[in-house]
């Protein structure tokens, strides 16, 4: 079984911890001048998304996690699973609601997403950083008011609710940053 020594620790490295696949977020080498060296590591559990802190004795080894980040196209949801397809091999995988988490509300068919596979099965999905989605519901727009800076809620075609400027109307296409959930701009059709 593949393993990594603490000397190989760097952010992004995928390791197994307590039976779950994790990614290293931050690795700090600490060592009293005449004493035991440690690696103080911030680790994200790839299944739960939670970040925890762990300390390893420098030189110890941990099991590698067979985790692969791959770009896949979202094709459809059957209500319980979200289906993705590799754009070149046409290989398909089905991701559970747990793997989707918060990402589900940004996904529109044909969007390219980053799907994280553990032992071949999807454990998490990241939507594109920017998506373009249509407004399906919002209070009537205030025409001409493009500068006041006020905002209102708007529901998008995927179900996501974001804050938008007051002049936005139902049916418009919006560019949204999925990392912050913030409105960026209107998009012309």
33 binds other proteins (CB under 8 A): yes
Residue 53 engages other proteins in binding (rule: CB under 8 A): yes
In angstroms, rounded to a whole number, what is the distance separating the alpha carbons of residues 96 and 123?
8
**Contact pattern from residue 57 through residue 96 relative to other proteins, giving x for each residue in contact according to CB under 8 A and a dash for the rest:** xxxx------------------------------------
Closest residue by Cα to residue 9 from 38, 48, 46: 38
Cβ at position 59, least distance to other proteins in Å: 7
In the bound complex, what is the minimum distance in angstroms from residue 67's beta carbon to other proteins?
A: 19
Q: Does 28 bind other proteins (CB under 8 A)?
A: yes
Burial class (CB in 10 A: 0-12, 13-18, 19+), 126: middle
Residue 164: phi and psi, rounded to 5, are -130, 160
Of residues 37 and 121, the one with the C-beta less far from other proteins: 37
With binding defined as CB under 8 A, does residue 30 bind other proteins? yes
Residue with tokens 């299944």: 47
Could you tell me the two tokens for 9? 């620790």
Instruction: List contacts with other proteins (CB under 8 A).
Output: 7, 28-38, 40, 52-60
């Amino acid at each position: 079984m593949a393993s990594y020594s603490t000397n190989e620790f760097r952010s992004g490295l995928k390791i197994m911890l307590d039976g779950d696949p994790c990614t290293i977020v931050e690795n700090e080498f600490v060592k009293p001048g005449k004493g035991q060296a440690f690696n103080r590591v911030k680790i994200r559990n790839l299944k739960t998304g939670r970040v925890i802190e762990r300390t390893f004795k420098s030189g110890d080894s941990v099991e590698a996690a067979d985790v692969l980040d791959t770009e896949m196209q979202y094709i459809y949801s059957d209500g319980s699973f979200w289906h993705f397809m590799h754009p070149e091999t046409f290989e398909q995988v089905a991701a559970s609601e747990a793997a989707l988490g918060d990402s589900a509300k940004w996904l529109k068919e044909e969007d390219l997403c980053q799907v994280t596979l553990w032992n071949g099965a999807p454990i998490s999905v990241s939507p594109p950083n920017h998506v373009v989605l249509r407004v399906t519901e919002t209070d009537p727009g205030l025409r001409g008011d493009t500068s006041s800076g006020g905002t209102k809620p708007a529901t998008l075609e995927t179900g996501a609710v974001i804050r938008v400027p007051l002049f936005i109307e139902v049916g418009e296409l919006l560019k949204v940053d999925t990392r912050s959930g913030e409105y960026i701009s209107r998009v012309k059709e």
